Structures are given as structure tokens and as C-alpha cells.
Structure 1
């Protein structure tokens, strides 16, 4: 069982790391086999402007609670990897002062006693370490356009290949090479499941133009798929398209994408700075419409993840699976 803590104090950089600190509420739910949903913090620290980020933090946790599950927002604060945050910790995450942490950065942030917001990769890894099997986010990272030359591939894919966590998302952002991303997921044996769709979503758009290999239409079906797939040791991508009413208009999306790709190429923006630059371009160029789409889809994904977590907890009780 991971260490349980309620009041976190600054730690010595020399103290050995023994695993993530889990809030009392999350630890109690895990100990009794209750449903828990992990939430990332990079969306809050880097994906949304203030004060929208702090408002969204509460909206996401409330969406999980409303469906009967316990939210577990993940971040690193004072060198402590934390699974489950209180209001004060969420305030810090939304302050705009946290660095972005993938799995490769966790050792440095923890060892040096720093603060950081966790990406999809880092959140999935820490959630699994704490025993949380369901994770909700907006969009998965993937293979960047031009990756044949740049080798720019998100760590999200590699982490999901070796981490047993089901990630509910709205596919991958359309700024990426969606086809190549799906090929990498297949190569790495990461399951891909369309929720209520035969088409893989493209984040702001419901259809990326690529099919999904499998489809489920109810939370119970998703839970059954995950209960079987988790034995492989790899992750599962549950791709739920944004609601029709919240989808970004096609003409606006295509124009902003073309402009954004030309912008990053012209400015020589590369690596981990590409996605934030393109998303900011979308937010500014759409007059806030893309921001509203982002919040709507991640909120819907949090609700679906909670529904699946509730169903999974029921399956595990029936099967006599011992709580972690």
C-alpha cells in the first residue's frame, strides 16, 4: 500500500523515494475496492489560462464525484509525488509556476524537491504505482508530424505500452500524425477502444479520419474489456469523441491547424514546445471556442471514466479480486 498522507511538508532532497503519497480519501477507496479516477495536472498548469484552470479543476473532480467515484488529481509538490490533492494543493497547481513533468522528469523533481505538473505519461505511471486503474484526460500525446526526421514521439505512447492503466480521452490532438500514432499503439500492444464510435476521435473534431479496431457502447462493456486487457500489462485507450454540440467547426479547425503548423515551422519551434504553441494558437485564433471545446470534452471524459470505474469495482467484487 502506498504511503498515505494528508499534510505534506517540504522534504529533504536526500530522502529516498518510497512511492507516491496517496490522500486519505483515495487510500480509503483503494483499500475497500472503491472506484477511483486519476486526473492529470498539466492540463491545469499549462493547458488552461487562469482563472479557468482552477475552475476546471473543481469541475473535473465534481464530475467524478457525481458518478460515484473518487477523484485523484496527480502532481509533484515539494518533491512529493501526490495522488489526490486538496484545495490548497490545487491552488498551487493552477498558480502557473509548475514545470511540466513526464516520467523521465519524475526522478529529478522528486530527488531535488521541486514542484511539477504531470503529463499523461507521468500521471498514468504514478496512478498505476498507487493502484489506480482509470485515468481521464483530454487528448493523448502521439507521433508528431515530421517525426521521420525529428523522432518527436510523445512519451505517452511508450508509457502506456508498459503501464496497466485505462485512459479515457478524446483521441489524439489533430495537430499530430494520427495514423502514425495508431500504428505505434498497435505495435506496442496498447488496446484502442472507441466509445460510441467507429472512428478514432481527433480531439477538437469527432472524427480523425481513422477507424478504431474495437467499439464499446456502455461503461459496463468498457469495464469488461479493461478487466480482460489489464492482464496483458499494457494500457487501454478509451476514445470518446467530443459531443456534437461542443465540436469545433471544421472550417475553423482546418484553418487554425494550417496556420499553426506554418507558425511553428517558421519560428523553429520544436520538441515539447510544439504542442503548447499550437494549442495557444488555437485558443487565440478561435476566440476561445477551442478552449470551451477542451473543457467540455475533458469533463465528459472524467464522467465516463468514473462510470467505468464504478462498473469495474463491481466486476472485481463479483470476481473476488482483492483490493490493493
Structure 2
């Protein structure tokens, strides 16, 4: 039996077949500055509700894995110091230590699937790091074995997008653009790489979700890559200049491993005058809305 703490609203929705959308919590504890993080966390959940689904923000509190948080728990996660960043591999150790932790894409996907949630909204996926092909996010291998639909804005543009797409193909993770055959680059509408499939409505994406379950053949994730409109993306010239400077600072300061992504996201926030933060918020709200519409159509 799963040792998961389901919020009453989430448990009821799952029991009655109503739509639920899983939400990760690293954006709350590690992805956004205070107090913006709590405000955005509430906005994300409100967006899911407005589109007809129940939000299930996933996190670890006192070592227990929670699927769905109340406002007091959201506040605790947003305001506490020392919240651990937890991938799927860390969940059992976090339970033993009794810590508070925010779940990455990998951990959120794994927990959501275990709870019976079929759709998950996030900002951008992790992937293969630039100039470090051995440094690869656990998101990729977790998605290869987790039957969930992930609505995202592609992979973070600070990563090696081409190598990440190659790894997703090798791992058997299905990737489709939402109303596009171009793969988005998180802050950027177009990463410069194509995709083979396009899903053109929430209903069509929902049919793909239900078809996979009905076929019983493929156990991996479906990535629904939802690009920002071109007039809402980060200015490409500003993006490229900031990324080059950030990568140089990364090497100079010797930042490695799981610290790379928070460092570069923080660098973007500081050196774009907050423009990247505004784009990041638009991304997650758009993805939460689309994920809720897919979940509602699939319910």
C-alpha cells in the first residue's frame, strides 16, 4: 500500500474519476524568490481550478509524501529555510530523515503516477547539460518508465536541447508539440529543433493519454511541449547574452551537479532585470491551464 498522504479533495476526485493535475514544488521552494513564490503557487492552483480540474501540488513534509497541499502547507514550503530538493531517488531517505522537501519533475512524476494521476504541469524539463554529456537530469530516465502526460515548455534553454531530445528518443519518451512542430526552448518559443508530432487541442492530447492506457503497450511519459507565443518570450538576444555570461560564471565559480540549474535560473533573474522571472511565471500558468483542460477532457 502506498504511504502517500492524499489531500481529501484529491482523494475524492481520484475516487470519483474527476480530473486532477499534479504540480511540482521545486518552483515554490527553489525556483522563485520570496514572496513571489507563494503568490505564484496560489495562482497556479487557481488556474487549474478555473480550467476544471483539482490541483495536487506534491511535496514532502516531515518525511511524508503529500499529494495535494492546503494553504498552510503551501506557505510552510514557500517560507521555510533548508527545504531539500528531492528527486525520485531521494524520497525514501527523506522519509527516514523526516525532512521537508520540494519535488523535482522526476519525483513529482513518480509520485503522481503512483497516486493514479495522469496529467502533470511543470515549467521546463531537466535534461543533458551543455558541455557535460555525462551530467544528465534524472527527469529523463524517470519519464521513460512513468506513465504520465507532462505539459511543459520544452526543456530549460540553459541545457543542451538537441542532446536532450536525442536522449528522450532513445529512452522511448513520446514528445509532441502543442499546436506546433517546433520544440520550445522554455524562455524561447522555438529552441531550433523540430518534433515529429503535433497535438492540436486538449481533446486530442486527452485521446493520446487514454489511448496509451487502453493499449497497455507503452509505459513511458508523453511530453506535451507547449510554447510561449512569440510576443511573450524572453528577448532572444538578451537570452543568448545572459546565458553566455551565466555559463562563464558557472565555470569560474565551479558550480556543478544539481546546483547548476538553480544557479543559472538565478543568474537569469538577476541579469535580465526580472524579465526572465515574468516569463517563467507566464510559462507555468499557461501549462497549468492546458494540463487542466487535458485532464478534464480525459476524465
| TM-score, structure 2 as length reference | 0.97
Q: Contact 1:121/1:155 (CA < 8 Å) preserved in 2? A: yes
Instruction: Work out whether residues 64 and 302 of structure 1, in 8 Å CA contact, stay in contact via their aligned partners in 2.
Output: yes
- Contact 1:229-1:236 at 8 Å conserved across structures: no
Q: Structure 2: any 5+ residue segments left out of the alignment?
A: none
Partner of 1:87: 71
- Alignment partners' CA distance in 2, 1:223 and 1:239: 14
Are 1:290 and 2:273 an aligned pair? no
- Distance in structure 2 (CA, Å) of the matches to 1:183 and 1:38: 26
Worse overlay, 76-85 or 238-247: 238-247
Q: Structure 1: 5+ residue runs without aligned partners?
A: 3-17, 314-324
* TM score, norm. by length of structure 1: 0.89
Determine which of 227, 230, 233 is the counterpart of 1:241. Answer: 227
Query: Residue 130 of structure 2 is aligned with which of 141, 145, 155?
Result: 145
| Alignment correspondent of 2:267 | 281
Residue 256 (structure 2) pairs with residue 270 (structure 1):
yes
Paired residue secondary structure (1:175): coil
Counterpart for residue 39 of structure 1: 23
In structure 1, the partner of 2:165 is 182
- Specify the alignment match of 2:60 in structure 1: 76
* Partners of 1:19 and 1:129 within 8 A in 2: no
Deviations 1:195-248 (A, max 9, x none): 011100000000000001100110001011122234311111100001333210
Alignment size in residue pairs? 295
Secondary structure in 2 matching 1:94: helix
Q: How does 1:6-155 map to 2 (within 5 A)?
A: 18-97=2-81, 98-148=83-133, 151-155=134-138
* SS in structure 2 at match of 1:82: strand
**CA RMSD, Structure 1 to Structure 2 (Å):** 1.0
How far 1:85 moved relative to its partner? 0.2
CA contact under 8 A between 1:75 and 1:81: conserved in structure 2?
A: yes
1:256 and 2:239 correspond: no
Q: Distance in 1 between matches of 2:275 and 2:165?
A: 27
Q: Does 1:170 align with 2:156?
A: no
Q: Distance in 1 between matches of 2:232 and 2:43?
A: 17
